[in-house]
Structures are given as structure tokens and as C-alpha cells.
Structure 1
Amino acid sequence: MSRLYDSIEPNVIDDEMLQKAVEEQGPQEEAGLLAKKEASISKMSWRYNILKIDNLWQFKNLTKLQLDNNIIEKIEALDTLVHLVWLDLSFNNIEVIEGLDALVKLQDLSLYNNRISKIENLDTLQELQVFSIGNNNIQTLENVIYLRQFQNLRTLNLTGNPVCENEVYSAFIAAYLPDLVYLDFRLVDDNSREMALIKYQYAIEEMRHGETLAMAKQQVLDAQQKQVEYHKRAYVEYLNGSFLFDSMFADDPEAAKLLYLPGVSLLDSDFTYKSKFVAICENLFEYGLKQYEKREAEVALFYECLNEALEDNHQQCSKILRDFEEKNHGVHKGPRVRDGERKIKLAEYNYEITKLSDVLMTEEMLLVDQLELSLPPFVQTLDSRKGLLKGIPVLCFLTFSPTMAQCRDLENQHHEKLLEISVNTLEKIVKSEFDEEMPDDVRMLFVDKDTIVNAVNASHDIHLLKIDNREDEIITKANGWASTLVENVHKTEIQRNRSRVLEINQYVDHLRSELDNMDILET
């Protein structure tokens, strides 16, 4: 059924609407203030004649969202709601299922009463348990097979779609979605399911075979992708083979032409150039992986030492606080009389508070100094690999230049031989001593010496540029990683220090407040 809003102006979710929703649906009083500040209430509902979803980025902790009975035409702007488990978009004007990829925790999805004609684009929603898409325009039973991939799906509502008019609808769904418990608000009984499975036995077996093959293929692809991601973290992706060498020639328009020159094919007849080039790349690949593992281990060791220092400081400060509390236990108790002894005790307590503050701040300053002594060498290791933390090297930096220089040397040698063959060929053509067939575009390179030399040099430049770019990419990524790592270490330490100083001040302020109250009582 469609809904008319002829007399109401369409809206976009804006700040005023969000504020109103938080005030109406969020917790009240102090908890309400926190909700407004953090924008993290668990459920929000809007029925404001909304046309477009927007401005929800601030509600990143939202778990339930209800946008039913609006005029929304497109699912969008939900990417930040990664904690959403329940989403109601029923009674809208949505035509395409989209924009849900980031909602990987979603368990309950309602798209009831929209204009959707195809079930699609739900692949990432593997936690889906309840799916309502009734009163839409789903036409074919085959489209419902798409839902087989959702192993947690137990409740499905398709009622009101054209597909439901098919006489085998219920049996088909029961057979192809064997884990389904409820279909169109009714329990799928075991007898019906068993009969359906028998009816579609052969088709399902064939489908399962195809699914098994597809799954095996996908597992291989996933493993390969996982491996590539690991190689990327070591900055050596696609160096374990001829990828770099092949790319040099693939992007070189002159290379194919120069292959027609007599003797060029003999330059690499035994694959000397290519095999040596690939061997260098593979050595670089293995070196990079070893350095990555070493680097990760040393960074982990750095953080282990760092955490040990923090824990030692924590234990020391805890002991200081325990000693203070034991020494001053009962100071605020006792007879409330105006005698000199009582005033002396309060003065001593005030002195102890000041002393405690000084000791705790001193411990914090010592810790900061200790970490500062560790951090500069840590930064230094990014260039020199000489930094130490408690005598332990903390970082092994990658150095690729010597290996890439070998690639450049090989390319230079190949270029010199190719240039020599090209000039010799030109001389034979000028003397009419060259009688081998040659394509017209290749023969055009031998108009004069400058033309052929320029062509060979252009080819050479492309190859060198490929090598240089790959080297720059490695170094840039390594430096970027190093800078980010150091920045995070500094940032975390600054935040920890500020938090610790604030904690000490708050505790000391609390003690002084108690002391002030005791003074008032005494007077």
C-alpha cells in the first residue's frame, strides 16, 4: 500500500531533528545530558516525513534505528553506524537495496512495504537473523536463493510480493532455505520441509556442488589476498616473481617494436636478463619479509618495556598512597575539641597532603623523564638503527637501495647492448646490407640515427622510471609507517601524562576539601 503526503513538506534529517529525537527518546536528567553529549543512545525513531537520510555520523554507537513511515527513496549515510543490530526502513519509497555494507552487526532488517524488486547487496550482513521484505515487488523464486548465504537467517517475511502467488512458493523456500524457522509469520514444520527437500533434491544437490566449488575457489582467493596484504605490510607486494619486470615492458610502446631487430631476441635467449632481474626481486622480497618480522618483534618488545615502566610506576605510586592512608588513618576522627594537640595534628595532616602531592608529582616527572630518554633513541633508530631501550634495539629499518641498484645495473647493461644492435642495424640499412623483413612501424625508427637512438633511450627511461617508482614507493611507505608509529607513541604518552596529573590533582583537592571541612568543624 502507498502513503500520500501531499500536504506535508518532505524533510532531511537535520541537527534540530536530531536534537529533538535525543531529548524525546534519550535518558533524562544527568544521563540525558550525557546522551546529548556522546550521541550514543541505543535506539532512535523518526517519523517526520523524511525524504533523505543524513547527519547520522554523530550517532556512531547507535544499535537500533527506526525510520519507518517516511518517504525515504534511497538507503544512504549509514556507513558510520557500524554497531547497528536493528534497522527498520519499512513503509518508505525505497526501490534498491544498497548502502548497508558497513552494518556487519545487523541482525534484524525490515524493508517491509517499499518498492524493491530484487533482493541484493546484503553480502556483508552475515549476522542477519530476521529479514522482512514483504509488500514489495519481488517477482522470482530464483532471487530468494540469494538468501542461502545467510546461515543465521531464521525468520523471513515475503508476504505480499508477487512471488508468493507461485503455487510452489512455500515448498521452494523451505527446500532452498533449510535453516529457516519462520516463513511469513508461520512456523516451517518438519514434514513440509522434508517433502520440499525430496521434491527439489537433485536441483539442490547440484547447487550444493556448485557452492562447494565456488567456496573452494573463494577460499583460495581469500588466502591469496591475505598473503598480499601481509606482503604489503612488509612493502614487498608483487616482488615475488616477474611482476615488476613484466610491467616495465607492458608500459613500453617501443619494446615490442625493438624486438624485431636482429639479435635482440638473442640478448635474452637464455632469459639471462629476465632471470637475473627476477632473482633480485625475489631476494628483495625475502629480505623484506624477514625485516618485517624482525621489525614487528622489536616494536612489540619496545611496547613491552614501555608497559613494564608504566606498571612499575603504578606499583610505586600505589604503595605511596597505601602508606599515606595507613599513616593518616583516623585523622578526621576523634574528639572535636579546640585543643592545641588537635590543631597540631591537622597541621601535620596538611603537611602530609602537600608532601604526598610532591612525591606523586615527582614520580610522574621521573616516569616522563625515563620515557623521554627512551623515545629520542627510538626516533633515531628510524634512520640509524642504533637506538636502545634498556639495551634492546627497538627498530630495524628497511634499506632497499642496494638491491634496487642491482636492478638498475641490469637495465643499463641491457640498454647498452640494445643500443649497439640498433646502431648496427641502421648502418646495414644505410648500406643496403639489411635484407630482413621488418614491419613498417619498426622501419620508421630507422629514418636516421637520432630517431632510433631516441626510441631506445625512451624505452630505457620507462624501465628505469618503473624501478625508481617502486623503490620510492617502498621507502615512502616505510617512512610513513615510522612517522605514524612515533607520532602515536608521543601522542599516547602526552595523553597519559595529562590524565595522570589531573588524577593526582583531583585526589589532592579531595584531601584538602576534607581538611577544610575538619577545620570548620573544629571552629
Structure 2
Amino acid sequence: MAQLNVNLIAKSRNHFKKKQGLPEYLRTLTHLHFSSKNIEDIGDISTCRNLTVLYLYDNQITDICNLGFASNLTHLYMQNNSIAHIDNLSNLRMLSKLYLSGNRIAVVEGLERLTELKELHLENQKLAPGEKLLFDPRTLLSLAGSLCVLNINNNKMDDVRDLAVLKKLHSFTAADNKLRNTEELEDVIGVWPQLLQLDLRGNPVCKTPKYRDRLITACTSLEVFDGREIKEMTRQFLVNWKASKDGKKKKNNTHMLAGLSTRATWVCNPRKMQRSLGKQAYLTSSCFTS
């Protein structure tokens, strides 16, 4: 196992070329590539103050630490490690893309100060039996103004209603979870006016009647749904179909309310009911005698 530190960077042929002094090189370094290096710990690399992209995927890292110096970091790749908690990222105010898939995270938290975060990748967490991925409401509220891409594939989730606050989403991927309720999904994506891509493949909800039609009409900005492009002709047909269906439903409800109102009047005013029934009886008898 190894620790990411200045010495390891100096020994790397992919980085330090010895054409310049190590301190100068570390100060000018913007990209650091240390994926698949059996790294289990992040040491002191604070001399890399201009670091903008850090690749640490496919290692054995258990804790996110010693990155408080990296105020210029925009991309952090830490997928396929052994991270259980999202910690120590509050100083990364410029972070735009965060990759944490394939770790051991059960609760998404600690991102309250990442107001520039646009992409969050959390798919395929190694969860314990009975666990499902959860989101801290404070983190969701903090990300509501910036997050555009969210991937939560294969995390045993059965409810995404808390995610409705993420109104800037362009792409939402939640395949291979346990989502079952079409109405709940309609309510959520219906308040995402900028959503362009949606992937729910592998969820039980996909087997419900009119699943695709209902979600397309719930979010008319969608362009790609479950890997298939939505043609404008199809969208317009479904929108018209829903409008017609809603119109008929509204008309039926109006008739039903009118009937209920009449019955209520009769209950409250028996004499009026008697006069009405008497008039109906008179009209009926006239029809038979004429």
C-alpha cells in the first residue's frame, strides 16, 4: 500500500521530469494522475496549490483528507475506493465535478459549501444488507442552485421525492433501483423544468401501464428517456392525449359536483325537493295522458 505525498510524486515518471526543481514543479502542477496505484491514504501535498484535477480512482482510500489546500480544484475522481463518509471537502469551493461511485457511502452529506458543484456521480455504492442511499436535506438544499447531473444508479433507492428540490437538473440517472410509484415520479420530474435526460431502466416502475407515456407528459423538456430519443411528434401526441383525458375528467367531476350540490339542497330544503319531485311527477303524467 502507498501514500500519496510529495515523494511519491517525485518518483513518478509520469510527473516530475527533473528538468526543473521539484518545488517549482509542484507549484505549477495542475493535473495529478494516481489511479490504480494501491494508494490507501492522502498525505501532505499542499505544495500543489494550483491543482485543478485530481485522479485517484481505483485505489484503497478510506478517508477523504488533506485536500483543504486545493481551493482551485474543479474535478475530483475518487470512484472505486473504500470511502464510507464524505468529509473534508468544504474548502473546495470551485469543485464542479465529483466522482464517488463504487464506494461505501450510505448517506450523502458534507457538500453544503460546494455551491459550484454541477455533476455528482454516486452509482453502485457497496451498501450493507438493508441499507439504501440517503441524502441529507441540508446538502440537497445547498446543491439545488447548481447541480445539473446526478447519477444514483444501483443504490437500492425506493423513493426520490426528496430530490425534487434539485430544479437545475439536466440529467438524472437512477437505473437499477427499487422505484415503484409512477405518480411520485411524475410529481418529482414535473418540477424539473430543465431536465433533458432521464434513465430509470431496471426499476419495477418500468413495468407499470403507460409508464413511459405518463413521464413524458409530466416533463415536456425531456429529450432522451431510458436510452431512447423522444421524437417531437410522439411528444405532441402524448401531450394532446393527456390534455383530452384531463378535460374529460374535469367535465365528469363538474357533473358529479353538480349532482352532489342538488342532493345537498334537497337534504337542506325538503319542501324544495317535494316541489321538484311534484313537478317531475306532473310532467311524467302529462306525457302519459297526452
Where on the TM-score scale, by shorter chain, does this alignment land: which range? 0.5 to 0.7
**2:197 corresponds to which residue?**
155
Structure 1 residue corresponding to 2:74, chosen from 42, 46, 61: 42
Q: In 2, are the aligned partners of 1:51 and 1:72 still within 8 Å (CA)?
A: yes
For the pair 1:56 / 2:83, whether they are aligned, the reply is no
1:159/1:184 contact within 8 Å kept: yes
Once the two structures are superposed, residues 379-401 of structure 1 have per-residue CA deviations (whole angstroms, 9 ceiling, x without a partner) of xxxxxxxxxxxxxxxxxxxxxxx
Give the corresponding residue for 1:3.
none
Deviation at 1:112, TM superposition (A): 1.1
Contact 2:164 2:189 in 1 (8 A): no
Match of 1:66 in 2: 99
Distance 1:101 1:19, change over 3 A: farther
Deviations 1:207-256 (A, max 9, x none): 9xxxxxxxxxxxxxxxxxxxxxxxxxxxxxxxxxxxxxxxxxxxxxxxxx
Q: Which one of the candidate residues 107, 110, 125 is aligned to 1:77?
A: 110
Change in CA separation of 1:194 and 1:17 when aligned onto 2, cut-off 3 Å: farther
SS in 1 for 2:49: helix
Residues 196 and 64 of structure 1, relative CA distance in 2, 3 Å threshold: same
Q: RMSD across aligned C-alpha pairs, in angstroms? A: 3.1
User: How do residues 217-366 of structure 1 correspond to structure 2 at under 5 angstroms?
Assistant: none
Equivalence for 2:148: 107
Shift of 1:141: 0.8
Q: Does 1:172 align with 2:221?
A: no
Structure 1 counterpart of 2:148, which letter?
Q
Please state whether the residue corresponding to 1:149 is helix, strand or coil.
Answer: coil
Q: 1:140 to 1:203 in 2, by over 3 A?
A: farther
Corresponding residue of 1:189 = 231
Distance (whole Å) between structure 1 residues aligned to residue 217 and residue 116 of structure 2: 33
Q: Which has the higher strand share?
A: 2
The structural deviation recorded for 1:31 is: 2.8
Amino acid at match of 1:100: L
Tell me how far 1:203 sits from its aligned partner: 5.7
Whether the aligned pair in 2 keeps the contact of 1:138 and 1:161 (CA below 8 Å) is yes
**How far apart, in 2, do the equivalents of 1:132 and 1:150 lie?**
14
Whether 1:129 aligns to 2:170 is yes
Q: Cα–Cα, structure 1 residues 110 and 19, in superposed 2: closer, same or farther, change >3 Å?
A: farther
> How far off its partner does 1:204 sit?
5.4
Distance (Å, rounded) in 1 between the aligned partners of 2:244 and 2:4: 55
Q: Give the AA of the match of 1:64.
A: K
Contact kept, 8 Å, 1:97 with 1:119, in 2: the verdict is no
Q: Percent identity?
A: 22
Amino acid at match of 1:149: V
> Could you say which residue in structure 1 is the equivalent of 2:57?
none
What TM-score, normalized to structure 1? 0.33
Aligned length: 190
User: Counterparts of 1:147 and 1:205 in 2: how far apart (Å)?
Assistant: 22
One-letter amino acid matched to 2:134: V
Residue type of the alignment partner of 1:42 = T
Distance in 1 (alpha carbons) for counterparts of 2:202 and 2:28: 43
Q: Contact 1:97/1:116 (CA < 8 Å) preserved in 2?
A: no
1:86 aligns with 2:127: no
* 1:383-394 correspondence runs (5 A): none
The equivalent residue for 2:45 is none
Partner Cα separation in structure 2 for residue 18 and residue 111 of structure 1? 32
Q: Which amino acid aligns with 1:87?
A: L
Structure 2 gaps of 5+ residues are: 17-24, 30-47, 52-68, 250-290
Residues 204, 128 of structure 1: alpha-carbon distance in 2 compared, 3 angstrom cutoff:
farther
Q: Is the 8 A contact 2:84 2:104 kept in 1?
A: yes
Indicate if the aligned counterparts of 2:105 and 2:133 stay in contact, CA closer than 8 A: no
The correspondence for 2:28, drawn from 23, 26, 31, is: 31
For the 8 Å contact 1:88–1:110, the answer to whether it is kept is yes
Equivalents in 2 of 1:96, 1:131: separation in Å?
Answer: 16
CA distance in 2, matches of 1:177, 1:141: 13
